Chain A
Amino acid sequence: MSLDMTTPIPPVIGGPKTVIGIQDVTKIYQTGSVEVAALGGVSLRIDEGEYVAIMGPSGSGKSTLMHIIGCLDVATAGSYFLAGEDVSGLSENELAVIRNKRIGFVFQQFNLLTSLTAWRNVELPLSYAGVPKAERKRRAVAELERVGLGDRVEHKPTELSGGQQSRVALARALVNAPSLILADEPTGALDSKATADVLNVFSDLHRAGHTIVLITHEEDVAARAQRVVRLRDGFIESDTSNLVGGA
């Protein structure tokens, strides 16, 4: 099942259902009079149930790509089809529903609300999904238990360690049971034990059929994925299948 992805692949195609279809996407930042091309033209296809690691040096555009995939940012040019649907044609309110129900995003900087306790942070996506209050708390606490924070439910982010905060962010991404999970260096702040726990969570999710895309700098984290996409200076450098790895 090795795929050679060096040539662009049209977004809509037969075979396994395509979740992410990106074609010639560029992202140009205008800083004063200087233009920075964070993405120089990226085409990428990720199918349903895939477990993909994105690697690359700092500043190569990994986070930028991830934000576009997560509908948090819009590309300067190029097209993006999410599950066969052209994202650029969606209204803000439709995008909100997609971010809420279909995508779980773990930010590189966690982005927790400091005024809310851990479980109140985790329940946020549920409240936007209209889940009743009692069920929200139950599910938020269950999700925190899954990432090993069952005893930190009432703590505020400032009362948690960096690793604990990243796990709250993970619990929040998972709480609405999204089919697509995007994680920007979810293990960056974790020790080897916590890293293993989090990776086991991802493996479980992968086995359950979720599509996972994660950014990492660590080869052994990438080794757990099925496929590794390497970026350099805003371009895909390589896209290889992990024959030995996989979950």
Chain B
Amino acid sequence: MGWLETLRTSWDAIRSHRLRSGLTMLGILIGIAAVILTVGLGEGAQQQVSSAINALGTNLLVVTPGSSTTGGVRGGSGTSVSLTASDATALGDKSVAPDIQAVAPSNSRSESLTAGSTNWTTSVVGTTPDWLGVRARTVDVGRFLTNQDISGEAANVVLGPSTAQELFGGADPVGRTVTIGNIPFTVVGVLASEGTSSAQNQDDQAVVPISTASDRIFGGSTRTSVQSIYVEATSADTLSAAYQEANQELLTLHHVTDPTAADFTIASQESLLSTATSVSKTLTILLGGVAALSLLVGGIGVMNIMLVSVTERIREIGLRKALGASPTLIRRQFLVEASVLGLAGGLLGALLGIVGALVLPGLISSTITVSPTATVLAILTSIAIGMAFGVYPASRAARLAPIDALRSE
């Protein structure tokens, strides 16, 4: 009896026990789909974070209030008023920090924007004209904020392309009025799209003069403090020099003698990236662990069904032996049967996982990246589960004398 013949016999056996075969496959299917989705979710999150950080640019430093003591967060200090607009001005002084190209302090908050009868909630960023260069953005239509806008607390706004689309549809927004926090703003320009899909939020924002934002929209502590200061080094090579200069300058300004007790944090794209990836790697491992656990649970279910199925069929094994099937052949038959079940369950599970990876992001607004390695590993695991729990009891039964197998209950 050749392999093809064995395959046919196995297929007949699978078909003649539809419910049992279906349950076996279901166990594997759910386990595999879970692995693919959870691992994909973790990897998707990782990529999302990485590309958002990459979009910052390589010669950028971000100064934020509060300290980052190694390995933890010093609670509360992040909320204190520790960065001010004058810090930003000082960092922009070429004589103090020659390696710093430009500085842009920024405050941002989510606000509701109204244009006519259209409402749209987005992030409103209060900043200075240098923001454009520091963040490596360009203006598509109209102009960006000017120094006069800042000094005059002008009610001018530059919209992100998505924001403009949401508020005005296809119409040219320049010169139109947008109300933010009851104050009518004039649209003076629209930013060019950042282009990358992963950085969608970069295209959805409204940029206003920092003075206007602090005094007229946000109010409160933002009148004196800033949430972050973007610092652009003259080049990627001078980044560490710029870091030193900014650090020294701020320590002096803040009268901090012990550098480890600084009340601010300076992060580069690289340091942000490594923190973020390590966090999301942990997430992926965690999710993968949960998924592996579900595969294990599925595997135990499969093991149960396989064991019951083989026990049920010991009589059949005895009869086949009595009619001339060698133990080798019986082992082969159950091997093929278990592999077919495992493979079918694995492939269907992979399919379900991939379909889920395509459909789910639309519902839960997060990216799911299907990892080929995880998929292949999961399918191999499912076959291994099928074989381990289907073939071992079958081959044990194949060693019985035919009549003992025939008499078994």
A107 to B17, CA, bound (A): 25
A176 to B322, CA, bound (A): 13
Among A123-146, those with CB < 8 Å from B are 124-125, 127-130, 133
Which of A72, A74, A124 is within 8 Å of B320, CB to CB? A124
Once the chains bind, are A97 and B401 in contact (CB under 8 Å)? no
Smallest CB separation, B180 vs chain A (Å): 74
Interface size on A, residues (CB 8 A): 27
Once the chains bind, are B328 and A105 in contact (CB under 8 Å)? no
Cβ contacts A to B, 14 pairs, < 8 Å: A92-B327, A97-B326, A100-B323, A101-B324, A107-B406, A111-B319, A111-B406, A116-B12, A125-B324, A128-B1, A128-B320, A128-B325, A129-B324, A176-B324
Knowing A105-B322, A115-B13, A127-B1, say if A93 contacts B401 (CB, 8 Å): no
Once the chains bind, are B324 and A100 in contact (CB under 8 Å)? yes
B-contact 0/1 string along A86-126, CB 8 Å cutoff: 00000011001101110001010001010110000000110
Interface residue? A67 (CB, 8 A)? yes
Residues of A within 8 Å of B326, CB to CB, are 92-93, 96-97, 128
Residues of B within 8 Å of A115, CB to CB, are 12-13, 16-17
Knowing A115-B12, A115-B13, say if A73 contacts B404 (CB, 8 Å): yes
Once the chains bind, are A92 and B399 in contact (CB under 8 Å)? yes
Once the chains bind, are B401 and A99 in contact (CB under 8 Å)? no
Once the chains bind, are A72 and B402 in contact (CB under 8 Å)? yes
Interface residue? B5 (CB, 8 A)? yes
Once the chains bind, are B403 and A172 in contact (CB under 8 Å)? no
A137 to B327, CA, bound (A): 25
Residues of A within 8 Å of B404, CB to CB, are 73
Once the chains bind, are A128 and B324 in contact (CB under 8 Å)? yes
Smallest CB separation, B267 vs chain A (Å): 68
Residues of B within 8 Å of A100, CB to CB, are 323-325
Smallest CB separation, A84 vs chain B (Å): 21
Once the chains bind, are A127 and B319 in contact (CB under 8 Å)? no
Residues of B within 8 Å of A124, CB to CB, are 320, 323
Smallest CB separation, B394 vs chain A (Å): 14
Among B59-87, those with CB < 8 Å from A are none
Residues of B within 8 Å of A172, CB to CB, are 323
Interface residue? B329 (CB, 8 A)? yes
Knowing A92-B327, A127-B1, A128-B1, say if A99 contacts B403 (CB, 8 Å): no
Once the chains bind, are A111 and B322 in contact (CB under 8 Å)? yes
B-contact 0/1 string along A208-245, CB 8 Å cutoff: 00000000000000000000000000000000000000
A-contact 0/1 string along B395-409, CB 8 Å cutoff: 000010111101000
Residues of A within 8 Å of B320, CB to CB, are 124, 128
- Identity of the chain B residue whose Cβ is nearest the Cβ of A176 in the assembled complex: B324
Residues of B within 8 Å of A93, CB to CB, are 326-328
Interface residue? B316 (CB, 8 A)? yes
Residues of A within 8 Å of B316, CB to CB, are 113
Smallest CB separation, B327 vs chain A (Å): 5
Residues of A within 8 Å of B315, CB to CB, are 111
B-contact 0/1 string along A66-85, CB 8 Å cutoff: 01001011100000000000
Once the chains bind, are B401 and A127 in contact (CB under 8 Å)? no
Smallest CB separation, B141 vs chain A (Å): 74
- Identity of the chain A residue whose Cβ is nearest the Cβ of B405 in the assembled complex: A72
Smallest CB separation, B140 vs chain A (Å): 71
